[in-house]
Structure 1
Amino acid sequence: MNEEPDAASSAPPEQGGPVASVLAFIRRHRLPLAIVGGVLVFALLATGAVALGAASAPTAAPAAVKPSSTPTPTAEARPVPAVVAPASRFRTCSVAAAAADPRLANLQAQVMKASTGEVLYDRGGTTPSRTASVMKVLTSAAALSVLGPEYRAATTVVKGSEPGSVVLVGGGDVTLSRTASGNETAYPGAAHLDELAAQVRAAWAADPANPPITKLILDASYFGGDEWQPSWDLVEREDGYMSNITALMVDGDRNDPYSNTSARSADPIGRAGEAFADELSGGLTIERGTAPAGAAQLGQVLSPPVSALVDKALVVSDNTVAEMLARLVAIETGSGNDFAAINAGVLAGLAPYGVDTTGVVVVDGSGLSNDNAVPPSYLTRLFVKVNAREANLGYLLDSLPVSGERGSLAYDDRFWGDNAVADGRVIAKTGWINTGYTLSGVIRAEDGTDLTFAIYALGDVTDDAKTAIDTLATAFFHCGDNLSNQ
């Protein structure tokens, strides 16, 4: 073997017998033996000390030990690692091209997976902004909470304080119609003035002491304050999209009771009074006033239920009905009966749904005001509740427009061309004012995932923004659960 020997093994052997051999071994292993010897000595000394202590220990009971003033140190708790949140799924379906469409102007958007509450896509989603008619979703949700789906607004006639006088008392029903009973107006199921007049004539004739009816007093005091919200553009009334808001009117104050879009007047109360006077007998003196306390009721008719009013407010975006609902909510919650009370009333109505309303400002029920403010994130969370049909929100879900099938999402300029692939799969409220277009609701995505979403296109927008919004919503539809935030 060609191993190199170490220095000790190469030393010449010692001579002189066994003693010399031992001495030679010690010299060769001096360091190891020193270490072993030290260990043995320490062990022997320790053993002796223990034995000595045991032998000299007293047999009497030990004296009490004086407590130390220094506290006994306690062991530090070992830090526990924080629970590591599960990693988010890596998603790869991008909608960047659709979101970059300049027709969207200043885009705000958020998409949430309804089953988990996970935000899949966000662009300014927590910033409160104007909603246009998407505000009607909040108004409807508050009405279903506060009033309930079966609530009906009453229009009543009572006996006046003067002989021969009757008082027509408006209860906020904007759908009351001046057309003949049996006709279906823009408001299906509306009550009719001729039916109310027939009740009054019968009740009046039942008392022979009554003189002929000669005076009609109009009581519209159930709603207070301005009839026109100061931030609204008057063109909305002239173009037939909004009426003055009063507690007494007929046919939403339309010139044409059968058309959703029809010019409105500057005096809804007067129009209603003239129509009712004609039904009673004609030739009556008409005045404004209030009903006397405790006056005998001569007749009453009721509006369609809130569930039907919500449908009208959402499916064709009826502004006047939305304002009716908002005002009734404000009154029922004790917030007041004017425009200024709507914010507190609607927020109180939304509170039971448990969605944080921080940043939400409700100026009107219809969404016509630029001063409304709702973050898209509020809508995505509320629509999770709507999609689950919590409380009475199933009525809201069933009243929404549906792409290519129902309401304002079935018009020719919505979900056409390549976007028609999402027909029947986008259930959402549309919105439009001069400074923005909006869309918010639920998407039944291509992969079966339910998404809640809100899209705002705000700023210098044109009518083409609707197609750009639909294209982005269709992109969400295609991506489904694989929607990327990139």
Structure 2
Amino acid sequence: MPEPRLWQLTAGSAVLGLVLAAGAVAAAGPWDNGQRKAERAEAVAAERTGGAHHAAARAAEGLPAAPEPAPSAPAVLGPLGAGTPAAAAAAGRPADLAAVLVPLLGNPGLGPLRTASVVDVATGKQLYGQGAATPMTPASTVKIATAAAALTALGPGHRIPTTVTAAPDGRRVTLTGGGDPTLDRAGLRRLAAGTARALRDRGVAQVTLTYDTSRYTGPAVHPIGPNENIAPVSALMLDEGRTDGSTSGPAPRSADPAGDTAAAFAALLRRAGVTVQGAPTAGRAPAGSTTVARTYSRPLAALVERMLTNSDNDLAEALARQTALKAKKPASFAGAQQAVRDRLESIGVPVAGARLADGSGLDRNDRLSAAALTTILTRAADPARPELRPVLTGLPVGGFTGTLAGRYADPAATPGAGTVRAKTGTLTGVNTLAGTVVTADGRLLAFAFLAGRTPSPYAAQPALDRLSAALAPNG
């Protein structure tokens, strides 16, 4: 992994550390619900393993009795007078992470497969690793990769359009989806009002309506099949295909998001005084059509934050396809897989053995290593890569927002509330956590813990929380 410029990252992580510690809740965004029921469930306390058992665990692992400095300590902390084990301990940061993490990684709640990576963001040095380069099923932590790929491809200011065009005679109107799953009724209403004005200006009062979803190709239904966690993937949809008025989490979904969106648009046109003949039909705009109305999504930076905080699967698949479109690849599961992988490789993320079968992490065939995740998080903190900052600011805040709102509830056992920011991952038998934590001495650490064949989320999630909390102040 290339080593970032030291002086820039030392300053950058110190500033970011203070911002994260002091303003974590305010910066996290307004989204406060989880994506899956399992992620929303409050973690049930499992058998606790902690500091009292560290000495015995060290002996069992054949580790030295006395803790040693972390690899980054001499280069980074020496000039600050904090490069010794005693100084590190006084600052509330473990001097030898193996002594702290090995016993916690042994928790049976994590199942037989577990990998870990902890990196000092200021230096890019790995402070601890256990199978860090081994590709594992990442579940929703793959959204960190999706976010980084989209941001590097498109930039944080990119907006996704939804467009209405009219044929040369104005009598055929086409609603064209650009791939914005967050299009809401207010946006659709603005499109209808703008279209009605344009038609009146042309003296047209009666139209036929078609809708165009050709921007996306390949299967629309995710490999997991129809599911409340994701709608059919379409370039045109309203409110992520949700039919219950919700804005996050599992929900009943439309089986035909594009058709339903077009029907809602037709109703709004009629309300605006335009006669729409028949039902909307799928089709492309005829030659010579001109744009009469357009609306845009929020900037990509905001979409990334919403995706990460809420673990939004529909938005994740959309951003993966936007990345594919930018790379001039098919906007399909296969095209997005290659485009995202290429983007990650371009910023130095280790992708050997990686498989990005989807953008959301719902596909069990996804593979990503803990080292890849911590590399992405380290890149996102690099002052030379400000376009990646939403990868960090979108991470849920422990105990407060998104999929971490109900976790870190016991400060005695898991003191990471407000200081741990991390993306969760939950599938049956898979539990993961990857993010950042600010230590008591102001250092920013990136971590990733991936566990497979876990007995249940109620055992695995508290174990993951304790691992991340062990890196936090007083952990």
Contact kept? 1:409, 1:415, Cα under 8 Å: no
- Counterpart of 2:243 in structure 1 is 255
Q: Structure 1 299/163 Cα, relative in aligned 2: closer, same or farther at 3 Å?
A: closer
CA gap of 1:114–1:86, structure 2 versus 1, over 3 A, is: closer
Q: Secondary structure at the residue paired with 2:116?
A: strand
Match for residue 104 of structure 1 among 103, 110, 131:
110
TM-score by length of 2: 0.74
Decide which of 145, 151, 154 is 2:152's aligned counterpart.
145
Is 2:194 the partner of 1:199? yes
Tell me which residue corresponds to 1:48: none
Q: CA deviation at 1:459?
A: 1.3
Q: Residues 86 and 335 of structure 1: is their aligned pair in 2 closer, same or farther, counting only changes over 3 Å?
A: closer
- Aligned residue number for residue 404 of structure 1: 399
Range 112-121 or range 375-384, more displaced: 112-121
Q: Is the 8 A contact 2:72 2:123 kept in 1?
A: no
Secondary structure of the residue aligned to 2:232 is: coil
Look up the SS of the partner of 2:338 in the other structure: helix
- Letter of the structure 2 residue corresponding to residue 128 of structure 1: P
Q: Does 1:118 align with 2:125?
A: yes
Q: What code does the residue aligned with 1:241 have?
A: N
Using the alignment, how far apart are the partners of 2:474 and 2:170 within structure 1? Answer: 72
State which drifts further: 215-224 or 386-395: 386-395
Deviation, 1:86, is 11
Query: 3-state SS of the aligned residue for 1:422?
Result: coil
1:235-262 Cα offsets, whole Å, 9 max, x none, are xx2xx32111000110000012343132
Query: Higher RCO, 1 or 2 (CA under 8 Å, sep at least 6)?
Result: 2
Matched residue, 1:94: 100
Q: Deviations over 1:259-316 (max 9, x none)?
A: 3132102111111011001001165321111112331111111111101100110011
Corresponding letter in the other structure for 1:376: A
**Which is greater in Rg?**
1
**Residue 468 of structure 2 corresponds to residue 473 of structure 1:** yes
Q: 1:244 corresponds to which residue?
A: 232
- Report if the CA contact (8 A) 1:166-1:213 is conserved: no
- Out of 241, 244, 259, the residue aligned to residue 270 of structure 1 is 259
**Equivalent residue for 1:177, pick from 164, 184, 187:** 184
Segments of 5+ residues of structure 1 without an aligned counterpart are 1-84, 182-191, 481-486
Q: Using the alignment, how far apart are the partners of 2:468 and 2:283 within structure 1?
A: 51
> Matched residues in 2 for 1:277 and 1:98: separation?
57
Flag structure 2 segments of 5+ consecutive residues without an equivalent.
1-70, 75-83, 86-94
| SS state at 2:183 partner | coil
The CA distance in 2 between the partners of 1:461 and 1:160, in whole Å, is 58
Does the 8 Å CA contact 1:333/1:348 hold for their aligned counterparts? Answer: no
Q: Deviations over 1:61-94 (max 9, x none)?
A: xxxxxxxxxxxxxxxxxxxxxxxx9999985433
Q: TM-score, normalised by structure 1?
A: 0.73
**CA gap 1:325/1:214 in 2 versus in 1, 3 angstroms:** same
Q: Deviations over 1:117-157 (max 9, x none)?
A: 33222221111111111111111111111111111111111
2:101 and 2:391 map into 1 onto residues whose CA distance is: 29
Which residue identity is paired with 2:432? T
Q: Over aligned residues, Cα RMSD in angstroms?
A: 2.3
SS in 2 for 1:248: coil
In the TM superposition, what are the counterparts of 1:454-473 in structure 2 within 5 Å? 454-464=448-458, 465-473=460-468
Q: Which residue of 2 aligns with 1:225?
A: 218
Which one-letter code corresponds to 1:257 in the other structure?
G
Are 2:388 and 1:393 equivalent residues in the alignment? yes
Say which SS state the counterpart of residue 386 (structure 2) adopts.
coil
Q: 2: distance between equivalents of 1:438 and 1:162?
A: 56
Q: Which range is displaced more, 465-474 or 350-359?
A: 350-359
Q: State how many pairs are aligned.
A: 376
2:291 matched to which residue of 1? 297
Range moving further from structure 2, 374-383 or 413-422: 413-422
Seq. identity, %? 34
Contact 1:414 1:466 in 2 (8 A): no
Distance 1:364 1:87, change over 3 A: closer
Confirm or deny: 8 A CA contact 1:99 1:472 kept in the other structure: yes
- Distance in 2 (CA, whole Å) between partners of 1:388 and 1:100 is 33
2:277 aligned with 1:284? yes
Q: Distance in 1 between matches of 2:443 and 2:306?
A: 28
1:349 corresponds to = 343
Q: State whether residues 139 and 427 of structure 2, in contact with CA within 8 Å, keep that contact through their aligned partners in structure 1.
A: yes
The CA distance in 2 between the partners of 1:224 and 1:257, in whole Å, is 28
The separation in 1 between residues aligned to 2:468 and 2:354, in whole angstroms, is 24
Deviation at 1:233, TM superposition (A): 4.7
> Distance between the aligned counterparts of 1:430 and 1:414, measured in 2?
13
Structure 1 counterpart of 2:104, which letter?
A
Shift of residue 353, structure 1, vs aligned partner: 2.0
Q: Distance in 1 between matches of 2:73 and 2:379?
A: 26
Equivalent residues of 2:167, 2:287 under 8 A apart: no
State the partner residue of 2:164: 157
Q: Distance in 2 between matches of 1:471 and 1:296?
A: 57
- Counterpart of 1:379 in structure 2 is 373
1:166 is paired with a residue of what secondary structure?
strand
**One-letter code aligned to 2:127:** L
Amino acid at match of 1:151: H
Conserved? CA contact 1:136–1:367, under 8 Å: yes
User: 192, 208, 212: which one pairs with 1:215?
Assistant: 208
Alpha-carbon separation, structure 1, partners of 2:161 and 2:390? 22
Q: Distance in 1 between matches of 2:143 and 2:429?
A: 17
CA distance in structure 1 between the aligned counterparts of 2:229 and 2:434, rounded to whole angstroms? 21
Instruction: Give me the whole-angstrom Cα distance separating, in 1, the residues matched to 2:225 and 2:266.
Output: 32
* Alpha-carbon separation, structure 1, partners of 2:420 and 2:361: 21
Q: Distance in 2 between matches of 1:166 and 1:99?
A: 59
Shift of 1:435: 3.0
Residues 305-352 of structure 1: CA deviation (Å, up to 9, x unaligned): 101100110011111011111001101111211111012111232234
Match of 1:313 in 2: 307
